[in-house]
Copies of this chain bind each other. A is one copy, B any other.
Amino acid sequence: MSLLPSEDRPTPVPLADVSVDDEFWNGRLATNRETTIEHQYDRLGERCLPNFRRVRDGETGGFRGMCFEDSDAYKWLEAASYVLANRDDPDLKERVDELVDLIAAAQDENGYLNTYHQLEFDEERWTNVRNLHELYCAGHLIEAAVAHYRATGERSLLTVATEFADHVDRVFGTGEGELDAAPGHEEIELALVKLHRATDEERYLELARYFVDARGTTGRFEWETDHAEELPGDEEWHTGSEYDPTYYQTHAPVRAQETVEGHAVRAMYLFCGAADVAGETDDEGLLDALVGLWRNMTERRTYVTGGIGSTADGERFTEDYDLPNRTAYAETCAAVGSVFWNRRLFRLTGEGRFYDVLERALYNGALAGTSLDGTAFFYENPLESLGHHHRKGWFACACCPPNLARLLASLGEYVYATTDGGVYVNLYVGSETEVTVAGETVSVTQRTDYPWEGSVDLEIGVDSPVEAALHLRVPEWCADARLSVNGERVEGEADDGYRTLDRTWHDGDSVELSLNLPVRRMMAHPDLPDDAGRLALQRGPLVYCVEETDVDVPPSRLRMDSEDSLDARWDEDLLDGVVALEGETRVAGTEGWDGRLYREWEEHREEKRVTAVPYYGWDNREEGRMAVWLPTR
C-alpha cells in the first residue's frame, strides 16, 4: 500500500464539470430530483423547519423530532445544491435561498447552531458529546455549505459554516479550558477537510486531524457515562444505552484499529475523515491503518451486495464471516458511506480495487434503498425475505433517503478524475466532461449502455494534440476486457485495476472499451456459514435476486447448478427495463411431503424456468419472497 505523492493523486472532476446523459441513470436522477428530493423538502416542513423558525424567533422549547433533526435540512440543502450545480432551477434555488436565510438566522452570535440544544437545553451545550449529535449536525451543515458554495458561488451558507467551525475550534482541543473529545457520531472530520479545501484555512484541517486522533484516547465518553444523571436532555439519551466503546469506534485509537467495528455508518464516516486527513497531511501510517480496516471489511464483513453492518442490534458490524441473509441489516446509509470511503481511498492511491467496492455498493446495496418511483425507501437491505420486508414512505429516523438522494444527485463527480498528466474513467456512465490535462483542455464524451451492456465508447476532443494518459477502469469481475483506439485493437498497460493508454490524443480520437459481461455464479468464502452451498448471480456490477413473483415458488425451493446456463435478456417492460437472467433449472419437488416437515434424504427435482432480476429492483412489484443466495442442491 502506498500513498501516492500528492502531485500524482487523482482529483475527482467536479460535479459542475460533468454532464450525465445516460440510459440507466437519466431516469433515476430525474426521479431523485423531481420526486425524492421534493418529497424530502415537504417533510422538512413537519419537524425540521419549525425548529429553525422557533430559534430564529427567539422562542424556547417545542423542539420536534430526533436530536439530529437539523441534519435533515442540511442533507436536503446538500442534495439540492448538487442539483443546482448542473442545472438552472429557479424554483429550487428560491427554496434553497430561503432555507439558507433561515439557518443563518438561527445561528447563535458565537457561531453555535443546533436547534435541539438551543430550544431545549441551551445551557448545556457540548455536555453530552457521546450521544447528542451536535458535531454530527455541524458536519452536515458544513457539507451542505461547501456544496452550496461550489454550486452557486455564494458564500452565505459557507459563512454560517465557517463561523460554526470557528466556534467548534474554540471549544474543542487539548488546550487550557478546551473540551478534549471526539464526537459520538463521526461526520465533522470529513466535513472539516471539505471546508479546509473550500477555504484554504489550515485550522479546519488541524481540527479534523485532532478529532481523528482524539478518538479512543480522551476518556471523555467514560466521564460522560459516569456522570449521566447530571447531563441534560431526555434521560434515555444518557442512561438508556450502556457505553460500549466498540459501538462508537472508541475502543482504540484509529491507527491501532484492526477490524471494522460498531455502528457501520459511524465507522464509514470516521474512515472517510481519516482518509481525508491522511491525504492532506501525507500520513502514510494512517492510510496503512485504513487499508488494513478496509481489508477486514471487504474480505470478511461485506455482503455480496456491498451492504455492511449485519445486525439491527446497534446497526453494526459483528464479527468475521457473520453475514446472515434474512436478518441482514445492511443499512442503506452504510452502503452509501462505503461509497464515500472507497472514493477517498481511490483518491489517495489511484487503485481500482476501491472503485470495485464502490461500484458494488452503489449499484446494489445503496441503489436498492429507493423504489423505482422514488417514493418509498429501504432502511435495511436483507438478502432474503419471507415476503414481509417492504420499502416505507419515510422513517422517524430519516437518515437513509436523504443520504441516498445526495449520493445520486452528485453521481456525476464519481465518474472522472484527473492528474496532471491524465484522466481516469472510473464509472461507466454516459456523460460529457471537459478537463485540463497537461495544461490543455480535453473533452471526453462517454456513450454506453452500461451496466446492461459492456461496450463503452469514448470520444476525445482537443484543440491540438495532447500527450496524456487515459486510465480506463477494468472492474475485478471482468476477466476479458478489449480495447481499441480508432477501431484498432490495442492492449494498453494493465495496472492497479486500470488499462492505461498513454499516447498523444488528437481531436476526435475514439476509444472503445468492451467489457465482457457473462452471467457469473458466485460463491462465498467457506467460512461464511449462511451462504454455504448456495450461489449468487452477478452480471457486470449487478447482483441479482430471485423474486417469488417471477418463479411462483419460494426461491429457497430452487436447486441451482453451477452449470445452469442462464441467458441475459433485455426486458424493457420489467422493472422500468432491466436485463433479466433466465434459464432452466430445478426446484425441490413437494411430492410426498404431506404432513411432514423432515424426512430421509431423497432428491426429487422438478424442471423449472427461473428468472432473476437485479437486486436493486426487488420489492417493486407484488409482495413475495426473495433470495439472493440460491440453494444448489
Residues of A within 8 A of B (CB): 295, 298-300, 302, 304, 319, 322, 324, 326-327, 384, 386, 520-530, 532-536, 554, 556-557, 559, 562, 587-590, 593, 595-603, 625, 627, 631-633
Task: For A601, give its contact among B299, B322, B562, B590 (CB under 8 Å).
Answer: B562
In the bound assembly, the distance between CA atoms of A12 and B384 in angstroms comes to 46
In the bound assembly, the distance between CA atoms of A319 and B386 in angstroms comes to 10
Chain B neighbourhood of A302, CB < 8 A: 597
Chain B neighbourhood of A625, CB < 8 A: 529
Cβ contact within 8 Å between B523 and A600: yes
In the bound assembly, the distance between CA atoms of A596 and B522 in angstroms comes to 12
Cβ contact within 8 Å between B600 and A532: no
Chain B neighbourhood of A633, CB < 8 A: 533, 632-633
In the bound assembly, the distance between CA atoms of A633 and B523 in angstroms comes to 11
Cβ contact within 8 Å between B603 and A525: no
Chain B neighbourhood of A298, CB < 8 A: 597
Cβ contact within 8 Å between B597 and A521: no
Cβ contact within 8 Å between B597 and A299: yes
Tell me the nearest residue of chain B to A388, going by C-beta. B319
11 interchain pairs (CB within 8 A)?
Answer: A298-B597, A324-B326, A326-B530, A522-B599, A523-B599, A525-B590, A525-B593, A529-B556, A529-B625, A532-B559, A535-B601
Cβ contact within 8 Å between A521 and B601: yes
- Given A326-B529, A587-B526: A536 touches B304 (CB 8 Å cut-off): no
Task: For A597, give its contact among B326, B525, B601 (CB under 8 Å).
Answer: B525
Nearest-Cβ distance from residue A377 to partner chain B, whole angstroms:
23
- Given A302-B597, A386-B319: A533 touches B536 (CB 8 Å cut-off): no
Chain B neighbourhood of A326, CB < 8 A: 324, 529-530
Nearest-Cβ distance from residue A264 to partner chain B, whole angstroms:
16
Nearest-Cβ distance from residue A446 to partner chain B, whole angstroms:
28
Nearest-Cβ distance from residue A324 to partner chain B, whole angstroms:
7
In the bound assembly, the distance between CA atoms of A631 and B522 in angstroms comes to 16
Chain B neighbourhood of A530, CB < 8 A: 326
Task: For A602, give its contact among B523, B527, B596, B601 (CB under 8 Å).
Answer: B523
Cβ contact within 8 Å between B527 and A554: yes
Copies of this chain present in the complex amount to: 2
Chain B neighbourhood of A525, CB < 8 A: 590, 593, 596-598
Chain B neighbourhood of A322, CB < 8 A: 386
Cβ contact within 8 Å between A526 and B386: no
Cβ contact within 8 Å between B536 and A559: no
Tell me the nearest residue of chain B to A556, going by C-beta. B529
In the bound assembly, the distance between CA atoms of A71 and B530 in angstroms comes to 40
Nearest-Cβ distance from residue A311 to partner chain B, whole angstroms:
10
In the bound assembly, the distance between CA atoms of A45 and B387 in angstroms comes to 49
Nearest-Cβ distance from residue A396 to partner chain B, whole angstroms:
17
Tell me the nearest residue of chain B to A587, going by C-beta. B526
Task: For A529, give its contact among B554, B590, B595, B601 (CB under 8 Å).
Answer: B554
Among A529, A535, A593, max chain B CB count under 10 A is at A529
Cβ contact within 8 Å between A598 and B524: yes
Tell me the nearest residue of chain B to A595, going by C-beta. B299
In the bound assembly, the distance between CA atoms of A533 and B522 in angstroms comes to 16
Chain B neighbourhood of A319, CB < 8 A: 386
Chain B neighbourhood of A600, CB < 8 A: 520-523
**7 smallest A-B Cβ distances: which pairs?**
A529-B556, A526-B588, A532-B631, A533-B631, A562-B601, A521-B601, A533-B533
- Given A386-B322, A562-B601: A632 touches B527 (CB 8 Å cut-off): no
In the bound assembly, the distance between CA atoms of A208 and B368 in angstroms comes to 53
In the bound assembly, the distance between CA atoms of A300 and B597 in angstroms comes to 6
Task: For A523, give its contact among B521, B522, B598 (CB under 8 Å).
Answer: B598
- Given A562-B603, A597-B299: A532 touches B520 (CB 8 Å cut-off): no
- Given A327-B327, A521-B600, A534-B533: A593 touches B556 (CB 8 Å cut-off): no
Chain B neighbourhood of A300, CB < 8 A: 597
Tell me the nearest residue of chain B to A600, going by C-beta. B520
Tell me the nearest residue of chain B to A322, going by C-beta. B386
Task: For A527, give its contact among B327, B557, B595 (CB under 8 Å).
Answer: B557
In the bound assembly, the distance between CA atoms of A155 and B449 in angstroms comes to 87
In the bound assembly, the distance between CA atoms of A624 and B613 in angstroms comes to 38
Chain B neighbourhood of A589, CB < 8 A: 526
In the bound assembly, the distance between CA atoms of A298 and B562 in angstroms comes to 34
In the bound assembly, the distance between CA atoms of A596 and B322 in angstroms comes to 15
Cβ contact within 8 Å between A304 and B554: no
Chain B neighbourhood of A588, CB < 8 A: 526, 532
Tell me the nearest residue of chain B to A554, going by C-beta. B527
In the bound assembly, the distance between CA atoms of A528 and B590 in angstroms comes to 11
Cβ contact within 8 Å between A596 and B299: yes
Chain B neighbourhood of A596, CB < 8 A: 299, 525
Cβ contact within 8 Å between B556 and A522: no
Cβ contact within 8 Å between A593 and B526: yes
Cβ contact within 8 Å between B534 and A601: no
Nearest-Cβ distance from residue A76 to partner chain B, whole angstroms:
33
Cβ contact within 8 Å between B535 and A556: no
Nearest-Cβ distance from residue A188 to partner chain B, whole angstroms:
31
Chain B neighbourhood of A631, CB < 8 A: 532-533
Tell me the nearest residue of chain B to A590, going by C-beta. B526
Task: List 4 other contacts, CB 8 Å, given A299-B596, A326-B529, A327-B327.
Answer: A523-B601, A529-B625, A533-B533, A632-B633
Nearest-Cβ distance from residue A14 to partner chain B, whole angstroms:
33
Chain B neighbourhood of A559, CB < 8 A: 532-533
